[in-house]
Amino acid sequence: MKTRKYTVSILLVSVSLATAAQHARISGRVADSVTDEPLVEAAVFVKGTGIHTLTAVDGTYALLLPEGVHTLTASYLGYYQKDIAVRIAGSGGQTVDFRLEGNTQLYEVTVTSQARDERVTTLHMGVEKLTAGEIKRMPALLGEVDVLKAVQLLPGVQTVSEGSSGFSVRGGSPDQNLILLDNAVVYNASHLLGFFSVFNNDVLRGLSLYKGDIPAKHGGRLSSLLDIQTKAEIPARFGATGGIGLISSRLMMESPVGENTSWMVGGRRSYADLFLKMSPNKDLRSASVYFYDMNGKVTHRLSGKDRLELSGYYGKDHFGANLGSFDYGNASATMAWSHIFSDNFFSSISFCFSNYDYGLESKLEGAQASWKSSIADWSLRFDFSRPISDLWNLNYGLSTAVHSFNPGMVAVKGFDNIAIPGNRALEHSIYASNEQKISARFSVKYGVRWSLFQNVGRATVFNYDANYRSIDSTVYGAGKIYNTYSAFEPRVGMVMKLSGSSSIKANYAHNVQFIQLANNSAAGSPMDIWFSAGPNVKPQEADMFALGYFHNLKNDEYETSVELYYKKLKHVIDFAEHAQLLLNDKLDGQIRTGNGQAYGAEFMVRKNTGPLTGFVNYTLSRSERTIPAINRGKAYLAPFDKTHSLNIAASYDLSRKCSLSAIWIYATGNPTTYPSGRFNIQGEYFPIYSGRNEYRRPDYHRLDLSFTFSPDKNSGKRWKSEWNVSLFNAYNKKNPWIITYLQDAATGLPYAEMMYLFGIVPSLTYNFKF
């Protein structure tokens, strides 16, 4: 057996050396033709081969190419694409630099920072990417294009409720999505209870959504990773982008400082509270409802091989009236240092902080009280990348994080404070992954992530009997590690290219989640509580299998794909009927665990070029749970199960200055539990409820329209502007938000009341850029 192992090892080394000997290294730099500023994450690809890479922080790239004549292409958002022909003869290296010209004739560009055939050639599956320009072309809600609303239109992604920024990916719950802003975790991504997201599109470079096949460098969630990055390039000169709307306004400014440094700041504020002050109603005049947020970033090039970035976010929502107020908000900060050791060895070190908190305050006479709750993280990560050859494209690293949970503290005037003890946890990980090109048609990727999660005192752990009654408790001192979980999370994937325009992909991933959200509502609320795994709560686990077929048509003008997936869940969490979740020091006694599964098919057709662009996607899916202590042990639909989901988005350029966009959404109604009968006790009626999630709400559908007029789009003026008019819910569909069941006082008969949020919502926004 040992001889066989050595033989295989020698064979692999020989194949690696032979492959390297038959290839030559092409390296170079992609930069702005005027300022010579490096273009970060510009796409460099070889036409007709599927070979591609992205530039590093200093604009450099490296590729291994076989002998022959090849056409190298470089593209970057906002620049004209450039082709360079190269001849490879022997193993000697070559340097090929690109200097791209800015596309100043377009105010809103549609060039993407990736090869147009990437969905066919790349090893990743279930990955959706959107640039800031693509997001801007979508219709606006209340006058502003929203990143998370754009994400909710992607195949396999469902909105959880009307107006909400929360989303479900392939049947998972919203807390199973890891949302990162410059590597910092965002725990609540909503403003105004979900009508806006916390992300200002003007400061963003783009986003990537990984549906299940999460890269090995990230973990801690079962369903998806939404990786959002702010702008990183150093601008050539001072510039600003902004908009003035009926509900909110925004402004982003950026500027270089010398040759190696730049800064960027952006801010938004809503001003519905200003209109309330004009109300004839005295109570409304004293009310205040608004949100604001701020982004900032400083980028400094320390040397030709080192780059330092400091970025931060702070946002707050406020709801106030005579009786009290409610506030919640996020804060995050990231410091990242990128270093280039050589043309095939890169590193990145980042330190991140994130915090989410909320507070309630009562101003009632004789009952003044306040309630505060929060979760905070501090994390440090080291990432390394070594693209050595077609057989070895290595990525590896490690990370560590401290989680601090503060479930809640209530202060009542004249009484002692009531506090649920906070707790802490440590989360560590080590990962390694590799991508191998086995042949011209077949490539594989594989990796593993090892995670370690530790609960840290001070803490009181309750013990429960078979009926979930607390029988005793154990107290642990400060700093004591009293519980540890570890997990291996393998990932593997492959792509088989059937032709230059079609491929088959498959992947498997095992994901583990150590922290989750406690809520009784599918829609969620800012007052939901994050809690961790512990002695009474095991980590949730998911095994995801996916298979897909991808085919591009007419020189990549059209993209089509079909993806099938199956997800098996262990230790999935739900809560007991009528669970008490807030200010409950025995929260783990309300938790019920079991197994689950989700499966489905996603179909997508996208048109990329021409006056008419857009996509149509359809998802057929099912998500269910089986928990012994719920629904008498019978399987029931998960709260976010939607059998059918159809999204149609289109944008048409009526002329060089005018464009029209439309989105139509249809989805099966969410599962729900309705009263199915009643009983009488001494003349008073009480409802009898159906099984868990046995019924569905009415189906959801909506049409949004948007018209954009850009008078300066093709001018040489530095100041460019546009007017946007949009209609949200154009045909006034009254989609249910909350359905409650009440009892008629006279007859005793039950009846239902439906509350909806929006009818037709028109908006007008003036956008500008200089």
Is the Cβ–Cβ distance between 126 and 565 less than 8 Å?
yes
Q: pLDDT for 235-252, tens place per residue?
A: 888 999 999 988 889 999
What is the residue type of 409? M
Name the phi and psi angles at 156, rounded to 5: 85, 0
Give the mean pLDDT of 612-620: 93
User: pTM (2 decimals)?
Assistant: 0.84
Q: What is the DSSP string of 1-35?
A: -HHHHHHHHHHHHHHHHHHHHTEEEEEEEEEETTT
Q: Using the predicted structure, report yes or no on whether residue 524 has a pLDDT greater than 80.
A: no
Q: Using the predicted structure, report yes or no on whether residue 268 has a pLDDT greater than 70.
A: yes
Q: What is the DSSP string of 564-633?
A: EEEEEEEEEEEE-TT---TT-TTGGGGEEEEEEEEEEEEEEEEE-SSSEEEEEEEEEEEEEEE-TTSGGG
Q: Which residue has the tokens 């690293």?
A: 397
Give, in order, the Cα–Cα distances in Å from 533 to each of 168, 226, 454, 514, 581. Answer: 21, 23, 9, 5, 16
Of residues 82 and 570, more confidence is placed in 570
Give the mean pLDDT of 583-587: 81
Indicate the pairing of strand 591-607 with strand 612-626. antiparallel
Indicate the pairing of strand 94-95 with strand 23-32. parallel
Is the Cβ–Cβ distance between 506 and 548 less than 8 Å?
yes
Q: pLDDT for 421-460, tens place per residue?
A: 888 999 999 999 999 889 889 999 999 999 999 999 898 8
> By three-state DSSP, how is residue 310 classified?
strand
Please give the Cα distance from 502 to 513 (Å, whole number). Answer: 35
- Which secondary structure element, helix H or strand E, spans residue 135, and what is its range? helix 132-136
> By three-state DSSP, how is residue 273 classified?
helix
Q: Using the predicted structure, report yes or no on whether residue 5 has a pLDDT greater than 50.
A: no
What is the residue type of 506? A
Give the mean pLDDT of 327-336: 94
Per DSSP, 181 falls in state E
Q: For position 277, what pLDDT does the model report?
A: 67
pLDDT-derived band at 375 (thresholds 50, 70, 90) equals very high
Give, in order, the Cα–Cα distances in Å from 513 to each of 426, 573, 707. Answer: 13, 11, 43
| Of 538, 591, 546, 592, residue with least CA distance to 568 | 546
Is the Cβ–Cβ distance between 434 and 446 less than 8 Å?
yes
Q: Which residue has the tokens 């783990």?
A: 588
Peptide bond connecting 458 to the previous residue in cis, omega within 30 degrees of 0: yes
Per DSSP, 141 falls in state B
> By three-state DSSP, how is residue 498 classified?
strand
| Of 165, 171, 160, 214, residue with least CA distance to 186 | 165
What is the residue type of 367? A
- Count CB neighbours of 181 within 10 A: 27
First to last CA, the chain: 69
Q: pLDDT for 704-731, tens place per residue?
A: 998 988 887 666 678 888 888 888 889 9
Q: Using the predicted structure, report yes or no on whether residue 564 has a pLDDT greater than 80.
A: yes
Average pLDDT over all residues of the chain: 83
> By three-state DSSP, how is residue 82 classified?
strand
